[in-house]
Structure 1
Amino acid sequence: MSDKTKSLLPDICPRPPNDFHKLNLRIKQVLPSKLYRSGPRDSGEPFFGRTAANRFDAPDKAYGTCYLGLDLHTALAETLLHDLRPVGGRFLVAAAQFASRWIVRFENVDDQKLKLADLTGVGLLRAGGHAALSAVVPYDVPQQWSHQVHIHPAGFDGSHYLSRKLNDHPAVVLFDKPSTQAKLGLPIYTALPSVKGIDRICQDLGIEFFV
């Protein structure tokens, strides 16, 4: 393929620019109590994974990441439904799997807010990216963005980005930093079947159960 032909190909997911550390990135501030995390465990939260297997993980596993939604719809779509495809517009979920999951919320700490790099809308545009950042597979380029946000001199706690599963809903990834953990209050666990309004949310998402 010639260089001229390559130049005509769409930029599927741009890498962060070389001067990323100099950019005055837009900031999104979020109270910890506004976050929802869905997981199979009822202890050890916040859980920061170091697998380099998720979208905004550290590419070299140098730091941990914790993924959350700003609403329960997003938290479930990005976890419970992450690897499922709909059948006739419905997601078939094992009842036992659903019953074993928990929703975790966090108390606030003196009203401290998490400082997030806003990788949506104008913020993402001016940083040199676009919507593919939340959708492209594999994750090597998004992980480069994660690394650059992590080392940015502004000292971000994580990033605010668009959910891949619900592309009109934002999601959050937090970095395992002492300053970030200090802003997260005590975790509050609720068994998923006991969450208020869960029946309506399952209906919205098209979740059906099988034994």
Structure 2
Amino acid sequence: MTAPLPPSDLALRDPILITLEAGEILHRFFTAAYDPIHFDRSQHGRLNAPDGSYGVLYTAEDARGAFAETFLREPGRTLIPSDLLARKAYVRLRVTRPLVLIKLGGPGLARLGATAEIVHGGLPYDVPQAWSAALRKHPIRADGIAYYARHDDEALCYAIYDHEPLAIEEERRDTSLDENWFWDLAEPYGVGLSP
């Protein structure tokens, strides 16, 4: 069974909302060669715009969710290649104004006419991208989508739509990941460093 497309009455439906308050901290692993606050306009991200008309910044409620979304993308992976680890960095981001997100998870799925396959299914991403575009057009004018990570369905993640002025700022960046705090994140997943 494939994930459902957004229903024709989506604009009339009452989604569950999550508000990220000003000062709240978000977590993200990113490619170290680039800016950590990157609103992806490609057609490669699960909740990106299907036509590239807006960007999406992927973050998580905690570092564990950010880890799962970045380093567990290959199902069954037990070793992180050292070259991948060297290319990545970690950033703590601060919300600078309240952001309202539509929850595409838990009871929020049924209220929208959705299923978990939307954010937990594999390629292609045409259905989740259609949901992203439809939820962005919802009358409440949400700032993004809250969803549970595909590789850890207890980890809450956020797909934040790009805005002017920017509603996120960098608080702290770590460019060296081969540290105890990082491996503490990896330990519950049974993941280590490739020799």
> Shared fold (TM-score greater than 0.5)?
yes
* Residue 108 of structure 2 is aligned to residue 118 of structure 1: no
Change (3 A) 1:52 1:186: same
Distance 1:135 1:108 in 2: 26
* Residue 47 of structure 2 is aligned to residue 56 of structure 1: yes
Distance 2:15 2:83 in 1: 43
> Deviation at 1:148?
0.8
Letter in 2 for 1:52: Q
The correspondence for 1:188, drawn from 150, 153, 172, is 172
Contact 2:88 2:175 in 1 (8 A): yes
The correspondence for 2:9, drawn from 8, 19, 25, is 19
Match of residue 142 from structure 2: 156
Task: Describe how 1:1-211 pairs up with structure 2 within 5 A.
Answer: 10=1, 12-31=2-21, 33-41=24-32, 44-82=35-73, 84-86=74-76, 91-109=78-96, 112-137=97-122, 138-178=124-164, 181=166, 183-193=167-177, 197-211=181-195
Distance 2:142 2:169 in 1: 18
Show CA shifts across 1:65-121 (max 9, x none): 111121212211211221x232xxx62112232133211112342xx3211011111
More strand by share: 2
Contact 1:107 1:188 in 2 (8 A): no
RMSD of aligned Cα (Å): 2.0
Between the aligned residues of both structures, percent identity stands at: 26
Distance 2:14 2:55 in 1: 24
Letter in 2 for 1:150: R
Aligned residue pairs, count: 193
Distance 2:178 2:92 in 1: 14
> Deviation at 1:41?
2.0
Contact 1:45 1:187 in 2 (8 A): no
Show CA shifts across 1:107-146 (max 9, x none): 342xx32110111111111110111111223211111110
**Whose Rg is larger?**
1
- TM-score, L = length of structure 2: 0.88
Contact 2:39 2:55 in 1 (8 A): yes
Contact 1:35 1:70 in 2 (8 A): yes
Change (3 A) 1:14 1:108: closer
Contact 1:56 1:142 in 2 (8 A): yes
Letter in 1 for 2:80: V
Match of residue 5 from structure 1: none
Contact 1:27 1:118 in 2 (8 A): yes
Change (3 A) 1:126 1:108: closer
Structure 1 range deviating more: 143-152 or 197-206: 197-206
> Deviation at 1:196?
6.6
Distance 1:118 1:94 in 2: 33
Contact 1:73 1:205 in 2 (8 A): no
Distance 1:206 1:185 in 2: 32
